[in-house]
């Protein structure tokens, strides 16, 4: 059945497998212990803001041991961003040097170049000399830009 | 064909939700990531239409390159963590968008779409190559495209050299 739908079927199977193993399974296995934590936070919030409402909340039933397969015990250290054993300082929203933008634009130009050259390479024999000249003109126009960047010393990192 | 219908509806719903998330999310970086998801679903719709080369190009250019460009631009922006604030142009933009949507929907619903009965070409790449690079094909637009890229490269050089 999968062969009828080719790559779409494969994509959907991989997507479902990925979602089940990385998102749904850990979430639902840790759900009882997660629920206990949320309930404790909710009662704490009520105690600080509306103390008279607390006695109306029914207590949470005790979950059996086998349901708490995956424990869920968050604390500030565990929830913090962890990178190679270093404690993080400041925010991650650092402004980058705008010179990187040049490389991104050059990357896009190369990308589009490859997209145009790929069908030409597939049908190389059928297109013959005319196609070769067309592709050479195509590459020549883009190489002008690269030579200009090289002569203007933009590719050097200062 | 029911499998193709299921695939189309999953892709369409996810694509529309991702496109709405691009507009509605306050965090610009998350909006960019959902734009990537939107591009991916469009590539999936190309696959269901058996336009394999177009799907590969969509993933290579839009998911690969354009999203990198957008995310880089976000990383270069000052005060981006404040998100996208609302402004006075909200209502006019909404009206223009509604008008545009109405025009597109009217044109789509009032066009008699011709459905070809011949089965689609299996590898589309050689046919596209023959259309693009052969004599009497679309050789002039193909040669205009690198001039556009040249303009982009030169614009980037001017941008970087500016003190």
Same domain, B1 and B63: yes
Does B40 fall in a domain? yes
C-beta separation of B36 from B82 below 8 A: no
Residue A58 above 70 pLDDT? yes
Residue A24 above 90 pLDDT? no
Interchain CB distance below 8 Å, A115 and B57: yes
Q: How many domains does chain B have?
A: 2
Positive or negative CA dihedral for B93, B99, B103, B108?
positive
pLDDT bin (cut points 50, 70, 90) of residue B163 is low
Residue B54, chain A, CB below 8 Å: the answer is no
C-beta separation of A154 from B159 below 8 A: no
Question: Around Cβ B57, how many Cβ atoms within 10 Å?
Answer: 21
Question: Integer distance in angstroms from the first to the last C-alpha of chain A?
Answer: 58
Q: Residue B162: which domain range?
A: 121-163
In the block, which residue shows the tokens 């023959």?
B130
* Closest residue of chain A to B133, computed from CA coordinates: A131
Separation in Å, CA B58 to CA B36, B47, B54: 11, 10, 6
Does B99 fall in a domain? no
Residue B13, chain A, CB below 8 Å: the answer is no
Same domain, B69 and B142: no
Tens of pLDDT, residues B117-152 = 887 777 888 888 888 888 888 889 889 999 999 998
Does B87 fall in a domain? no
Which carries the bigger pLDDT value, residue B24 or residue B12? B12
How large is the greatest C-alpha to C-alpha distance in chain B, in angstroms? 60
Could you give the 3-state DSSP secondary structure of residue A14? helix
- Please tell me which of the candidates A93, A119, A142 has its beta carbon nearest to residue B129: A119
Residue B144, chain A, CB below 8 Å: the answer is no
Tens of pLDDT, residues B56-87 = 899 999 998 899 889 888 888 777 777 666 67
Same domain, B11 and B70: yes
Same domain, B77 and B126: no
Interchain CB distance below 8 Å, A119 and B155: no
Q: Tell me which of B19, B54, B81 is where a domain ends.
A: B81
Least confident range of A41-45, A52-56, A107-111? A52-56
Does B137 fall in a domain? yes
Same domain, B6 and B77: yes
Q: Is the complex ipTM more than 0.85? A: no
Does B89 fall in a domain? no
Interchain CB distance below 8 Å, A95 and B75: yes
Q: Tell me which of B56, B81, B106 is where a domain ends.
A: B81
Residue B95, chain A, CB below 8 Å: the answer is no
Q: How many residues does chain B have?
A: 163
Highest mean pLDDT out of A67-76, B46-55, B105-114: B105-114
Question: Around Cβ B132, how many Cβ atoms within 10 Å?
Answer: 20
CA distance B5 to B38: 19
**Taking all residues of chain A, what is their mean pLDDT, rounded to a whole number?**
81
Separation in Å, CA A126 to CA A118, B123, B136: 14, 15, 14
Could you give the 3-state DSSP secondary structure of residue A87? strand
Does B92 fall in a domain? no
Residue B77, chain A, CB below 8 Å: the answer is yes
Interchain CB distance below 8 Å, A105 and B133: no
Which carries the bigger pLDDT value, residue B105 or residue A74? B105
Does B58 fall in a domain? yes
Does B113 fall in a domain? no
Interchain CB distance below 8 Å, A102 and B157: yes
Position A11 scores a pLDDT of: 82
Could you give the 3-state DSSP secondary structure of residue A95? coil
Pick the closest to residue B132 from B145, B150, B147, B119 (CA basis). Answer: B145
In the block, which residue shows the tokens 């002039």?
B140
């Amino acid at each position: 059945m999968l062969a009828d739908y080719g790559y779409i079927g494969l994509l959907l199977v991989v997507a479902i497998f990925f979602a089940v193993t990385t998102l749904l399974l850990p979430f639902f296995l840790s759900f009882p212990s997660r629920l206990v934590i949320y309930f404790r936070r909710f009662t704490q919030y009520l105690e600080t803001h509306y103390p008279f409402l607390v006695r109306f909340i029914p207590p949470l039933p005790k979950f059996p041991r086998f349901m708490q397969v995956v424990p869920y015990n968050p604390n500030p250290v565990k929830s913090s961003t962890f990178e190679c054993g270093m404690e993080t300082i400041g925010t991650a929203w650092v402004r980058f040097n705008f010179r990187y933008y040049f490389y991104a634009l050059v990357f896009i130009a190369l990308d589009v170049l490859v997209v145009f050259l790929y069908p030409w390479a597939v049908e190389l024999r059928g297109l013959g000399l005319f196609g070769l000249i067309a592709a050479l003109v195509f590459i020549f126009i883009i190489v002008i830009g690269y030579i200009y960047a090289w002569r203007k010393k933009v590719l050097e990192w200062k | 064909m029911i499998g193709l219908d299921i695939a189309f509806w999953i892709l369409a719903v996810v694509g529309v939700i991702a496109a709405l998330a691009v507009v509605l999310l306050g965090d610009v970086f998350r909006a960019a990531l959902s734009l990537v998801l939107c591009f991916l679903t469009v590539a999936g719709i190309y696959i269901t239409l058996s336009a394999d080369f177009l799907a590969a190009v969509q993933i290579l250019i839009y998911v690969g390159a354009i999203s990198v460009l957008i995310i880089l631009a976000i990383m270069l922006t000052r005060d981006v963590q404040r998100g996208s604030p609302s402004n006075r142009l909200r209502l006019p933009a909404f009206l223009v968008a509604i008008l545009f949507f109405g025009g597109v929907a009217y044109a789509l619903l009032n066009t008699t779409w011709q459905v070809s009965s011949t089965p689609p070409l299996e590898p589309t790449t050689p046919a596209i190559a023959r259309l693009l690079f052969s004599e009497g094909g679309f050789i002039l637009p193909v040669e205009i495209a690198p001039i556009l890229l040249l303009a982009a490269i030169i614009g980037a050089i001017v941008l970087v050299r500016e003190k």
